[in-house]
Structure 1
Amino acid sequence: MITNPSGAVQAYDKMLRQGGAAGLEARDQGGADFSSMLHRAAERAADTMLEGESQTLQAAAGTADLTEVVMAVSKAEMTLQTVVTLRDKVVQAYQDILRMPI
């Protein structure tokens, strides 16, 4: 495992050049309903977060490649940011609906 800062920067740069951006990739699968699409997106988000945790644990044990750890943690971070943004938008929409006059 690489422990110097320049190695971490190089690994992060390599991850960015490889296009390591996950987020939620919820694409319609030809007529699938909204709830199943949302369910699949949530499962993928959870899987991405678990992969980040797994890679972090392997890094702590000294058995993981730093590039893989950086990629997994970056994907998990982007996924978390996406989920939080979606949650905020849903809450804002709900509040807007509550403020509507009847």
Structure 2
Amino acid sequence: MTPLAAAKAYGAAQSQALKGVGGGDGPEAAQGPGFADLVRNAINDVTQTSKAAETQIAAQVAGKAELIDVVTAISAAEASLETVMAVRDQVIAAYQEIMRMPI
């Protein structure tokens, strides 16, 4: 998939979402969350899953949690972190692609 195809797919999905939320596609239509909000939510999700994993680890050390719960929490935190890192890598690649474009 090329960056242009991904951008078109994202634009189509966003316009469909905005039509569903606001009922129109003009500037007066209700706006959904922006990119910064999506990134902020993703970072908050990673933080929460990491804290949950730390809590499970502490509970395991104290003898109050099962090992499977700790492993599950750590796996969830790892998956969230890998997702954010993949998005970060794609954003950086898109930025570099834009910077290489001739004016």
Provide the TM-score with structure 2 as the length reference.
Answer: 0.61
**Aligned position for 2:14:** none
Aligned pairs, number: 74
Indicate the structure whose relative CO is greater, using CA pairs within 8 Å and at least 6 residues apart. Answer: 1
**SS of the residue aligned with 1:62?**
coil
Q: Shift in Å at residue 101 of structure 1?
A: 0.8
Give the RMSD, CA atoms, in angstroms: 1.9
Displacement after TM superposition at 1:63 (Å)? 2.1
Secondary structure at the residue paired with 2:71? helix
Report if the CA contact (8 A) 2:60-2:67 is conserved.
yes
Q: Deviations over 1:65-99 (max 9, x none)?
A: 12211111110011111111111111111111111
Output the amino acid matched with 2:32. A
Matched, 1:86 2:82: no
Residue equivalent to 1:60 = 61
Return the offset for 1:48: 0.9
Q: Which has the higher helix share?
A: 2
| CA displacement at 1:56 relative to structure 2 | 1.6
Unaligned runs of 5+ in 1: 1-27
| Amino acid corresponding to residue 79 of structure 2 in structure 1 | M
Q: Which residue of 2 aligns with 1:39?
A: 40
Cα deviation for residue 33 of structure 1 reads 2.0
- Please give the alpha-carbon distance, in whole angstroms, between the structure 2 residues aligned to 1:63 and 1:101: 60
Q: CA deviation at 1:42?
A: 2.2
Q: What amino acid sits opposite 1:87 in the alignment?
A: R
Counterpart in 1 of 2:11? none
Report SS of the residue matched to 2:42.
helix
Please identify the structure whose Cα radius of gyration is greater: 2
> Following the alignment from structure 1 to structure 2, what is the Cα–Cα distance between the partners of residues 71 and 52?
8
